[in-house]
Amino acid sequence: MFRKKLPLPPGKYRMGGKHFKNDKAFIKTAVRDVRRLVKYCDLSEGSTLLDWGCGAGRLAVGVREDFGQIRDYHGVDIQPELIEWANENLAGDGFRFTCLDVSNERYNPDGSPDRTLAAEPGTVDVFYAYSVFSPMNDDDTPAYLTLIGEALSPRGKALVTCFVEEDVAGWEENPEGYGPLEWKGRLHCTRFSRRHFEDHVEAAGLAVDRFEYGRETDGQSLYVLRHR
Ligand SMILES: C[S@@+](CC[C@H](N)C(=O)[O-])C[C@H]1O[C@@H](n2cnc3c(N)ncnc32)[C@H](O)[C@@H]1O
Record the pTM: 0.95
Nearest protein CA to atom 13 of ligand 1, as residue: 53
**CA neighbours closer than 13 Å in the CB half-sphere of residue 68:** 3
Contact between 84 and 55 (Cβ < 8 Å): no
pLDDT in tens, 72-124: 999 999 999 999 999 999 999 999 999 999 999 999 999 999 999 999 999 99
CATH assignment, 45-227: 3.40.50.150
Instruction: In whole angstroms, give the CA distance from residue 108 to residue 80.
Output: 10
Does the beta carbon of 53 lie inside 6 Å of ligand 1? yes
- Angle subtended at Cα 197 by Cα 219 and Cα 223, rounded to the nearest 5 degrees: 55
Instruction: In whole angstroms, give the CA distance from residue 153 to residue 8.
Output: 31
- Angle subtended at Cα 164 by Cα 160 and Cα 181, rounded to the nearest 5 degrees: 95
pLDDT in tens, 168-182: 999 999 999 999 999
pLDDT in tens, 116-169: 999 999 999 999 999 999 999 999 999 999 999 999 999 999 999 999 999 999
Beta bridge partners, 95, equal: 73, 92
Could you tell me the distance, in angstroms and rounded to a whole number, from the CA of residue 186 to the centre of ligand 1?
A: 14
Could you tell me the distance, in angstroms and rounded to a whole number, from the CA of residue 1 to the centre of ligand 1?
A: 30
State the pLDDT confidence band at 18, using cuts at 50, 70 and 90: low
Contact between 70 and 49 (Cβ < 8 Å): yes
pLDDT in tens, 184-214: 999 999 999 999 999 999 999 999 999 999 9
Does the beta carbon of 132 lie inside 6 Å of ligand 1? yes
